[in-house]
Each structure stands twice: as C-alpha cells, then as structure tokens.
Amino acid sequence: MTRSTIRPDDLAYCHEAIKHGSLSFHAASKLLPKRVRDPALALYAFCRLADDAVDLNAEKAAAVLRLRERLELAYRGTPLDQPTDRAFAALIEDHDMPRALPEALLEGLAWDACEKRYETLSDVYSYSARVASAVGAMMCVLMGVRDEYALARACDLGVAMQLTNIARDIGEDALERRVYLPTQWLDQAGIDTETFFADPKPTKAVRAMARKLVLDANRLYIRSEAGVALLPREARLGIMAARLIYAGIGREVQRNGYDSITTRAHTSKAQKIGWIAKASAKAGATMIAPRSAVIYAKPLPEVAFLVEAAAHARPAAPFWGDGVIGILADLKAREVEQRGLGAS
C-alpha cells in the first residue's frame, strides 16, 4: 500500500477548499477509504485551483500559462511553496501520476480561455474528456487501477458528469457569453449565438438540446457502472455515490422541463442521502453479480488518449502540443493590446 507523503497541514487546507468549493464531491469523498480520499482531496483541490484561476481571472491566457508552469514545477519535485502545489507534487510522487492526465485538464482550461466553441457533440466529448474524464482517470490511478477497461468506464463517467453540467448551466453560461452546446445544433435550430447571449430564452429548441445532453449522459452513466466492479472494494461506494448524485442533477433538469435558463437545477441534502443509500446497495451488488459484458466496450474515441496514458503509466511524457501554446500566445497578445487600447 502506498504511504502518503502529503503533509497533514496541506491536506487540511485541501479539505477546506473542497468543503466550500465542491459540495457534490465533498459528499462523495467521505465514502472513500482514507488511502484514496486523502490524495483525492489534494487532486480536486489542485483542479479546483486551476479552474478558478482561469474562470475568475480577466487575463485568462496568462492564468493558464502560469498554471502550466506550476504543473512543470510539481513534476520536477520543486513545487511552489503553497499547500495545493506541495500536496499535488506529493501525489505525483506517491502514485506515479502520468503527466498527460493533468496536462489534458489544463488543455481543456486553455480551450476555455480561448473561448473555443464546439461544432459537434463529438467536439463536446473532446472538451469533456479534458476537463472531466482526465480527473476520472487520475482517480483510478490514485486507487492503483491501471486496467484499460476500468479506465474507459471511468472516462465514460467523466463525460457524463460534464454533459450534466453543460445541460444544467446553459443559462449561466450564456450570461457569461459562453456556449458549450454544439454549434451545429444551434445552427440547425436557427439560433444566432450573439442574439442568444443578449437575451437567452428557454425555447422549445433549447430545451430539446438540454434533453439530448441529459439523455446522452444517462446512457454513459449506465455504461460507467460496469467499471465499478473493477475498483477496490472499499472505493466502490464513493464512486457509485458520485455517479448517482450527478445523475440526480440531470433528473432535476428533466423535472424543470429542461429549462436551464429561468431556473437552475439543484439537489437537496435529503436527496444526496437517498442516493448514497442506493449507492451502498448497488456497490454491494457488484461483489456478487457476474461481470457485465459492457465492461469490455471500447473507450469513446475522444477519451482513448487518456486510457492509453493511464494504463501504461508514462509519468514524464508531455502532452501539450505547440498548437495550444500558440493559441494562448495569440490570446495573451490580444489581451495586452486590449489593455493598451483601454488606457489610451
């Protein structure tokens, strides 16, 4: 069993960050065994830091580039003297974390910084692979799971969770001039993006798009369950609970008539307790049920690179291509130019 080298004070800091920043994960993390929960808290705290650093920063390109530098330092074993960075560096060393996984996450954040839009559902899957499935693959590594089938199902779960988030946040994203719906769908519905940003409405067409995302997420949630049986027994409850809690958000979107603009789906503490109880029964069933053939389904093409990286443990292999760096450099130059125009 891997002995954690994360400092207790750094772990306490990560715990507080998750407690106040991600209620759903905090609830599910309590069900994980300590040997998985502690590094998982460090992982999520670093991911949360990365997400907030870009999302809440006006100079998004610079924020992503700084995060990449912090990741580089963590992999060198010389992290910044901050709790999340020290904890993440310890996690890398303890679990031989393939570098391609956190770098995939940062690439997704780079796409956000560049305000990238996604033409097809497959393109949305590619984005979801980076900002969500990469975290699922990292969770498998923390559990000591390198089985390619388990990794593929974990990546299914990540994509499903992100599709749920997108369906829930259509209105909020529009107010921030962001759109994660496939632009192909918008074009087919005759919806102009700029007009939608100015006055988002829960039209029949927009609600139909939310419904498509929820239904597709449900398909992937079901497919992901087959992988739970390949996880360590003591970790199955926490992962099953996370799956049910997020699927529950999708059901709330459905209950609201797929209107994610005038209302935002939320779940109660009582609902979470109910899903955790259901997760306990389902996780227990994995110990006696025959293995589902679904476990052998090929990974989604958009997540295959994550499965490959995690299964073959290539910790030092860089992932980012020059294309992403070039895009960020262009965006950074544009931000500098805009600041100059604002000052004149």
The pTM score is 0.89
Residue 307 pLDDT greater than 90, yes or no: yes
pLDDT band with cut points at 50, 70 and 90 for residue 279: very high
Give tens-digit pLDDT for 66-109: 888 999 999 999 999 999 999 999 999 999 999 999 999 989 98
For position 48, what pLDDT does the model report?
79
Residue 290 pLDDT greater than 90, yes or no: no
Tokens of 30: 């309590």
Residue 320 pLDDT greater than 90, yes or no: no
All domains of the chain, ordered by start, with CATH?
8-319 (1.10.600.10)
For position 318, what pLDDT does the model report?
52
pLDDT band with cut points at 50, 70 and 90 for residue 21: low
**Which helix (H) or strand (E) covers residue 289, if one does?**
none
CA geometry: angle at 279 spanning 275 and 284, to 5°? 160
The mean pLDDT value of the chain amounts to: 88
Residue 280 pLDDT greater than 80, yes or no: yes
Count the neighbouring beta carbons within 10 Å of the beta carbon of residue 243: 25
For position 292, what pLDDT does the model report?
82
CA-wise closest residue to 150 among 295, 297, 304, 33: 295
Q: In whole angstroms, what is the distance from residue 150 CA to residue 272 CA?
A: 25
Q: Helix 148-168 vs helix 121-128: angle between axes, to the nearest 10 degrees?
A: 110
For position 329, what pLDDT does the model report?
67
For position 186, what pLDDT does the model report?
98
Residue 253 pLDDT greater than 70, yes or no: yes
